[in-house]
Amino acid sequence: MKIRVHQVPAEGLTEQRRYDPEEMDLARFDVHPTDPIALSCFIAKADRELIVQATLRYGLQMACAKCLETFVSPMTTAATLNYHVAPTDVVDITDDLRQEIILSYPMIPVCQPDCRGLCVRCGQNRNHGLCSCVE
């Protein structure tokens, strides 16, 4: 989203946007944001500063590192972005939003805190029941 500094009124501005995750180039091999990414933000300016309070809502479709099942986790990310600006500037916040979303990705996605993973012998998903292999 591009913000024209001179169009931001003294009392600030509220904006809503929807982003297509494909457009934002967000996919990691094991993490795919679901469509759409919803942004709501409050934009304010003070002197030579532009302040954007952004809230992003989206889902992350991930593959569990333990059991390999795909699951979707709803996410809410809030960020305050600050820019030093001149009155004639146009500020593109898209790349900073992209960074905030990528920072929210878990290092190791797990479908549930106590995921039991797969049996190393037969490959059975142990969340669905125990197999007959002897440990």
Name the token pair of 12. 């600030």
Decide: is 111 part of the binding site for Zn ion (CB under 5 A). yes
Question: Which member of 10, 103, 107, 122 binds Zn ion (CB under 5 A)?
Answer: 122
Tokens of 18: 């929807």
Q: Which of 63, 75, 81, 131 binds Zn ion (CB under 5 A)?
A: 131
Rounded distance, CA 70 to CA 16, Å?
30
63 binds Zn ion (CB under 5 A): no
Q: Contact with Zn ion (CB under 5 A): which of 67, 79, 97, 118? A: 67
What DSSP element (H or E) covers 63?
strand 49-63
Check if the beta carbon of residue 39 is closer than 8 Å to that of residue 3: no
Contact 59, 74 (CB under 8 A): yes
Residue 121 interacting with Zn ion (CB under 5 A): yes
Type of residue at 21: P
Q: Which stretch binds Zn ion (CB under 5 A): 12-20, 48-56, 78-86, 124-132?
A: 124-132
Residues that bind Zn ion (CB under 5 A): 64, 66-67, 111, 115, 119, 121-122, 124, 131, 133
